[in-house]
Amino acid sequence: MDLEKSLLRKVGEAIHRFKMIRDGDRVAVALSGGKDSATLLEALLLLEKRAPVQFSVCAFTVEQGKFLRPIEPLAEYLKQKGVAWTYYRDAASFRLIEEQPGHGCDLCSRYRRRAVYEVAHGLNANVIAFGHTADDFCEALLRNTMFTGRLSALPPVTMSSDKEYRLIRPLVFVNEEITAAYAARCGAPIVPCGCSQKTGTVRRALRDMFASLEGEYPHLKENILSAMGNVDTSRLLDPRFLDLDGGAKKNPFPILAEP
């Protein structure tokens, strides 16, 4: 299937299935400088013109002092496309690098989140779109399972804690083969982040594991994605979802009262 058709079909499926975008939404795309968010922006710009739902798209980039190349080519690319783009240099993140150069992802992402909400507020957006791909969802599932003792991946759609923004991940069904090919086809400039070059990380180990298995099992990630949407709670170990009362029908969501 044509690359663009395949991309739009998968993004459209995610938006529809998880009710990501609604009439009147203003969607701010978080551009990280990588191929995934660049592809996401292109897909949403195309859908903005074609989808039956009326919504608008803008974009922003938060600079946290980790880009390895100048941002100007990205600025020029977006200007030529007529995309409303905000570049936000997060002073607090720069201070963090100076004061705690060895800080971890927790702190870095907390700073980023704060900056993202601030920028989205300035853009008058009510939806923030992130470029996490099918690969990210599969890796997150394994990482959380193996290292946090929680069976979870990433939310395809969720609200910010103050309920001001809907946070969406429309590339949930799109793999990085597609984003790499599509971003290259569009000529989107890539501004890599220093962290993407790190070796010896859990993320890198999981990527290598997938790469070695996928030679023999090419549909591995598709199967993992399907599994995430087809949970058999009776074959897991969470008592909230098990029938421990000998056949009495149990509300699988105990927080909701039985009628």
Positions touching ligand SF4 (CB under 6 A) are 66, 105, 108-109, 193, 195
Task: Residue 151: name the closest of 216, 207, 235 by CA.
Answer: 235
Least distance from ligand SF4 to the Cβ atom of residue 119, Å: 16
Least distance from ligand SF4 to the Cβ atom of residue 196, Å: 8
Residue with tokens 């804690």: 161
Q: Specify the residue, 9 or 66, whose C-beta has the smaller distance to ligand SF4.
A: 66
Q: Specify the residue, 105 or 146, whose C-beta has the smaller distance to ligand SF4.
A: 105
Least distance from ligand SF4 to the Cβ atom of residue 38, Å: 17
Q: Specify the residue, 45 or 142, whose C-beta has the smaller distance to ligand SF4.
A: 142
Task: Residue 137: name the closest of 225, 236, 54 by CA.
Answer: 225
Q: Specify the residue, 47 or 167, whose C-beta has the smaller distance to ligand SF4.
A: 167
Least distance from ligand SF4 to the Cβ atom of residue 112, Å: 7
Least distance from ligand SF4 to the Cβ atom of residue 239, Å: 34
Q: What is the 3-state secondary structure (H, E, C) of the chain?
A: CCHHHHHHHHHHHHHHHCCCCCCCEEEEEECCCCHHHHHHHHHHHHHHHHCCCCEEEEEEEEECCCECCCCHHHHHHHHHHCCCEEEEECHHHHHHHHHCCCCCHHHHHHHHHHHHHHHHHHCCCCEEECCCCHHHHHHHHHHHHHHCCCCCCCCCEEECCCCCCEEECCCCCCCHHHHHHHHHHHCCCCCCEHHHHCCCCHHHHHHHHHHHHHCCCCCHHHHHHHHHCCCCHHHCCCHHHCCCCCCCCCCCCCCCCCC
Least distance from ligand SF4 to the Cβ atom of residue 232, Å: 33
Q: Specify the residue, 151 or 193, whose C-beta has the smaller distance to ligand SF4.
A: 193
Q: Specify the residue, 67 or 241, whose C-beta has the smaller distance to ligand SF4.
A: 67
